[in-house]
Structure 1
């Protein structure tokens, strides 16, 4: 069975976006140097298609993910920039309780059956995993289905904002499987769910 992996950027204090706009762009200037090189090499599937093209990875084979699931608000960022299919190199799903249709046929909407749909995706016969691409609400809805967390902790303290997951309080145990620091102060930690 393949895994649902929540791959997310966060501040030291655990926030993934501005509390007013939801924007996590404050992380972008810190994504340079040896960290950027590592991410392009190890996680090229997580780059939006336009970014893959811009850095010469347009034809790079998929190595880790073949499917992306994202919330409507996360998807809205690209949509507002005129990019209705931000991850065209992956099979794309957008979770929304309000949208009934989507302008790009390569993006499939998931309504109220999000958990069931993710379970179906996880049960597929594939060597590649499923990329959970933010945000807090969708991560909260899928918290029991998240098999692995890959957390990029940036060396900033923001004080408040959107948390990594909006889920009810409960202890959910994960084990640290790897941790690496980079010259720009970013720490990349991977956690596996303890069954």
Structure 2
């Protein structure tokens, strides 16, 4: 069975953006070392324009072939004219307000996102599923998340958009690895404790 991996950037205090959802303070902290790590070890999770800019657009898929995102996360690219921000992957956007997909590569899931994820996880594939946001979708899918990869940036928001919204319950994960970077950023990987 395929795994659902929530790979997300957050502040030290666990916010994925400010109260409006803006995460530009974190992206401003990306340095050459961290960008090199993403290009070398997490190329499937980079938006297609970033893959092109970093010279990894032609690399075959390594870990993920499908991405799921909420409407807010999708809107970040849409506001920049990217109707298919992860064109190298199958794209699903959970949205009750977006009636029609603006791109043939993007499927809108207006119904039960948990059922859709279970359907995707049951597919016969060597690749996993990448959940890239946002907070409401992650909160609704918490019971389906098999792995957390948390990119933590050395800043504190104080308030903002949490990693998980919508009243989640206590869930245990096991720390698998921690990687640190000179900038003070770190990447923690957790697996669901069964």
Q: Same-fold call, TM > 0.5?
A: yes
TM-score w.r.t. the length of structure 1 is 0.97
Q: Which is further off, 76-85 or 32-41? A: 32-41
Q: Which is further off, 31-40 or 140-149? A: 31-40
Which whole-Å CA distance do the structure 2 matches of 1:68 and 1:169 have between them? 22
Q: CA deviation at 1:126?
A: 1.0
Q: CA deviation at 1:132?
A: 0.1
Quick check: 1:68–1:92 contact (8 Å CA) kept in 2? Answer: yes
Structure 1 segments of 4 or more deviating over 3 A?
none
Q: Which runs of 5+ in 1 are unaligned?
A: none
Which whole-Å CA distance do the structure 2 matches of 1:116 and 1:94 have between them? 14
Which whole-Å CA distance do the structure 2 matches of 1:143 and 1:179 have between them? 21
Which whole-Å CA distance do the structure 2 matches of 1:83 and 1:122 have between them? 26
How many equivalent residue pairs?
194
Quick check: 1:33–1:184 contact (8 Å CA) kept in 2? Answer: no
Could you give the per-residue CA deviations for residues 26-78 of structure 1, whole angstroms, max 9, x where no partner exists? 11122213222111111001111011111111101111110000001100111
Q: CA deviation at 1:169?
A: 4.4
Question: Equivalent residue of 1:144, what SS?
Answer: helix
Quick check: 1:152–1:187 contact (8 Å CA) kept in 2? Answer: yes
TM-score w.r.t. the length of structure 2 is 0.97
Partner of 1:191: 190
Cα RMSD over matched residues? 0.9
Which whole-Å CA distance do the structure 2 matches of 1:33 and 1:84 have between them? 27
